[in-house]
Amino acid sequence: MDKRIREFTVVILEDESGGYVAIVPELPGCHTQGDSLDEVMENVREAIELYLETLSEEEKEELLSRRVVGLQRVRAIA
C-alpha cells in the first residue's frame, strides 16, 4: 500500500483531571491523551502513525477503507 497523507476522525473528550483523551474510531484501540488540545493532537498523530506501523498490509488496507459517516448524540436513561 502506498504511503500518503490520510485523514482520520478524532473524538476528543475532556477527562476528569482537566486534560484530554483522543479516540480514533476507524482504528480500534487507537487512543491517547494530553494535557492541552495542542498536546493531545500531537500525541494522536503519533499514535495513529505507530498504530499503522504494527499492521500487515492486508490489515492496513481493510482499516483504511473504513470511514466515519457521522457522530450522533443519543438520549438514554442513566
Extents of the domains making up the chain: 11-64
The residues that bridge with 31 in the sheet, in sequence order, are 23
20: part of which helix (H) or strand (E)?
Answer: strand 20-23
CATH architecture group of domain 11-64: 2-Layer Sandwich (3.30)
Q: Note down pLDDT in tens along the chain; length 78 residues.
A: 567 889 999 999 999 999 999 999 999 999 999 999 999 999 999 999 999 999 999 999 999 999 899 999 999 999
Number of H helices, E strands in the chain: 2, 3
d(CA 12, CA 42): 13
pLDDT of residue 4: 84
